[in-house]
Structure 1
Amino acid sequence: MAQLIFSLVPVALGVVLSPLAIMALVAVLLSRHARTNGIAYLTGWFLGLSGLMALFLWLFPLIAVHERGQPPLWVPAVRLLFGIFLTSAAVWVYRKGRARIASMAAASSPREVVAAAPHLPGWLHTVESFRPGRTFLLGLGLFVLNPVDASCAVIAALDISLADLDADAGLWVAAAFVVVGTLPIGVPVLYVAVRGAAAQPLLDDVRTWIAGNTHVLNAALLLVIGVLQLEKAVSGLL
């Protein structure tokens, strides 16, 4: 159990520190229907995370035919693919962040500074007009369709499925993973529900900080998760 939890920590952090999801949440919480849209976004995110976990927790035991306690060959192959994808994503995230910082440092005019500064994706500016139904789909889609977040959920389900645990213990670990992965969305939604309009200054600060400072942290997390999957893949293939 302890080894499983330890291996899931970086995977959970990969979900918790999803910058795009948090930036989208901030935009939702600054919209005209902040409370209802926040709850809708949280519901969509929760169902995306828990739904993927449930799907693969059902699927992996169904297709993983264990022989003498050893997982089949496709398991390390899947880990290898995830490892390559996540380490490549880490390099891309880091290089993109470095390039943006270099552009800002080389800027010699206010216009160049503005052009080089980090911006939110253009589609986030339309979120303020969303109704709860579209906001729910946004929360759901940002998890299910984000390859990094979805990969973390699949990796967690794979690790839980292969762990030497009974069904009840595995479900408790999966439930804890879902709760931890939902906290970065649930806590701000609760904060806005309690504070209302007074929460806006903090939300603006969070959005600015995320846009400009998370590339190194996210690259490091992706690299750690990717390297762990590569190590498990190599061990499984040898």
Structure 2
Amino acid sequence: MNNVIGGLLPLGLAVGLSPFPIIMVVLLLGSARPKGNGLAFLAGWVAGLLAVVGVLTLSLDAVADAGDGSPSVAVGILRLLLGVALLVMAGRKFAKRFGPPDAGGLPRWMAAAGGYSPGRSLVMGLTLSAANPKNLALTAAAGITIGAAPLNHSQEVWAAAAFLLIASLTVLLPVTGYLVAPRRADVPLQAVMAWLRVNHSIMTGLLLVVFGFVLIGNGIAGF
């Protein structure tokens, strides 16, 4: 159990350090309906992560129940594929960072966050957690780690909860900070967003390289 959680924490950290949800939650907390939008985005974010982890965990449980034991070959292949996918995404991030400069500014869907409703914020949280390729790959890796481990259902729930907590901290903390002290939270949140807008490509690329090789190594070890 401890080994599984130890393997999940870095994956959760990598998901939590994704720049787009951090920037989005800062924008939503500065919108016309900050509390409703912030809480709705947090709910969507957690729900998206939970859906991916749950599907992978239950799928691997079913494979294990139908076979003779742990589905090590299937897990190894999945990890290899996810690792390669992360390295490809890392290459794209580095190409964007060191390529020709773009026009600057936020994407249109981010720039419009000031007018979001809580419903749209909920959908955006779901999209950035479950449909974003980078987060989908990392969260799938977490689900594979849980589903492939020899855990009972109660232990799987605790392991998934640990991953969700770490992966959601960078969204949870700004929302909580705003609810407790909105005026004090504004300045540090804006500073974080400004830094991420400049450095998010290189930071994300490095994370993807590290975890891409980790997943490939774990995949090879599973054969």
Determine if the TM-score, normalized by the shorter chain, exceeds 0.5: yes
Matches within 5 A, 1:161-180: 161-180=147-166
Offset, 1:214: 3.0
Partner of residue 143 from structure 1, selected from 124, 129, 132: 129
Letter in 1 for 2:116: F
Q: Deviations over 1:73-120 (max 9, x none)?
A: 3322211210110011112212322336xx5xxxxxxxxxxx66x532
Unpaired runs of 5+ residues, structure 1, are 104-114
Q: Distance in 2 between matches of 1:134 and 1:82?
A: 29
Offset, 1:72: 4.9
Secondary structure at 1:214's aligned position in 2? helix
- Give structure 1 regions of 4+ aligned residues with deviation exceeding 3 angstroms: 64-67
Offset, 1:44: 0.8
Which residue matches 1:99? 99
Q: Distance in 2 between matches of 1:8 and 1:66?
A: 25
In the alignment, is the contact (CA less than 8 A) between 2:72 and 2:148 conserved in 1? no
Which residue matches 2:219? 233
Which residue matches 1:218? 204
Which residue matches 1:54? 54
In the alignment, is the contact (CA less than 8 A) between 1:10 and 1:224 conserved in 2? no
Tell me if 1:73 matches 2:59.
Answer: no
Offset, 1:233: 2.1
Secondary structure at 2:106's aligned position in 1? coil
TM-score normalised per structure 1: 0.85
Q: Distance in 2 between matches of 1:158 and 1:145?
A: 17
Larger radius of gyration: 1
In the alignment, is the contact (CA less than 8 A) between 2:71 and 2:148 conserved in 1? yes
Matches within 5 A, 1:8-27: 8-27=8-27
Letter in 2 for 1:135: S
Q: Distance in 2 between matches of 1:158 and 1:206?
A: 32
Which residue matches 1:128? 114
In the alignment, is the contact (CA less than 8 A) between 1:13 and 1:221 conserved in 2? no
* Coordinate RMSD, CA, aligned: 1.9
Unpaired runs of 5+ residues, structure 2, are none
Which residue matches 1:191? 177
Offset, 1:18: 0.7
Secondary structure at 1:164's aligned position in 2? coil
Aligned residues: 222
Secondary structure at 2:50's aligned position in 1? helix
Letter in 1 for 2:22: I
Which residue matches 1:109? none
